[in-house]
Amino acid sequence: MSLLSDLINLNLSETTEKIIAEYIWIGGSGMDLRSKARTLKGPITDVSQLPKWNYDGSSTGQAPGEDSEVILYPQAIFKDPFRKGNNILVMCDCYTPQGDPIPTNKRYQAAKIFQDPAVAAEEPWYGIEQEYTLLQKDVKWPLGWPVGGFPGPQGPYYCSAGADKSFGRDIVDAHYKACLYAGINISGINGEVMPGQWEFQVGPTVGIASGDQVWVARYILERITEIAGVVLTFDPKPIPGDWNGAGAHTNYSTKSMREDGGYEVIKAAIEKLKLKHKEHIAAYGEGNERRLTGRHETADINTFSWGVANRGASVRVGRETEKDGKGYFEDRRPASNMDPYVVTSMIAETTILSKP
């Protein structure tokens, strides 16, 4: 096994200018991440240097067998924390051979919203709190839980330390460092309320970069859990009952919100979100009704509410924002399995482009 490890860790730059580019895309379910690698002449410093590629869309639920070719358009590059050196990860979106975005390509529409001059002028910032749960591979039961049984009640696990309270920290720390290495603006991690559940935060990021970075951070986490022999789930309520669900709270601000007088802009934006509550809920993740029950730090899915420092509201405004009269707010409705391209662009569209 030591020879295998040595070969995996070979430094290609010592013998060749060629690099390995891992092309990543989102599959037909909207949550399955796919990737494949190709050899290119390096180094690659800009996404414009990368060629398009293709794959068999009939094997990912994105094209029929008789016309299965889907084209990958490179959109963002990151350093590869697995192969290291000059090797890269490439986030792509997907098109037909005629150049039309396929139905599961949510990035295309998001990019159009972020390119709107009114949106671009507001420089929308995002900070996404991605929660997830680690499961034991063979039994699909949370890491650290007795097989077929339950741990003690919630309380001692949030941000905890100790072998009887914190499960999977090696995976979490490996992911944290790998994201920093890759160039993702990961801003922190913490253990969550339910044992075996964790969170990482990505941001602040601007516009379409938020979606790119969250998706690549998810991909890196999938790869690390694969190595560790642990199953990763983004299910918004992996365990029924008196256990917290998993969300993707989305912190948001515009230039106007960050400037003096911004608190009034924030309140006007929240009012716009209230008017489109049903549309946002429909786009905020599958199975979210199991999570947004009004319990476990959530608001009821059918009722929009907001408040200062209220973690039981749909939208929370921080005390500091209220005190300063400017800042940001947190949309607490998105589920852990939401598409960040959809959520970030929808918030921008509703708060900047829609008329009250």
Q: What is the mean pLDDT of residues 352-356?
A: 88
pLDDT band at 355 (very low <50, low <70, confident <90, very high): confident
- Both tokens of 165, joined, read 């309270």
pTM (two decimals)? 0.97
Give strand ranges (E) for the chain.
18-26, 33-41, 53-56, 69-79, 88-95, 125-136, 186-191, 197-206, 230-233, 248-253, 306-308, 315-317, 329-331
Amino acid residing at 167: F
Three-state helix/strand/coil letters over 57-111? HHHCCCCCHHHCEEEEEEEEEEECCCCCCCCEEEEEEEECCCCCECCCCHHHHHH
Q: What is the mean pLDDT of residues 168-175?
A: 98
107 backbone dihedrals φ, ψ, rounded to 5°: -65, -35
Percent of the chain with pLDDT over 90: 96
Q: Give 183's contacts (C-beta < 8 A, 6+ positions apart).
A: 78, 79
Question: What's the pLDDT tens digit per position in 84-141?
Answer: 999 999 999 999 999 999 999 999 999 999 999 999 999 999 999 999 999 999 999 9
Question: What's the pLDDT tens digit per position in 4-54?
Answer: 999 999 999 899 999 999 999 999 999 999 999 999 999 999 999 999 999
Amino acid residing at 276: K
* Cβ-contact 352, 119 below 8 angstroms: yes
Question: What's the pLDDT tens digit per position in 320-330?
Answer: 999 999 999 99
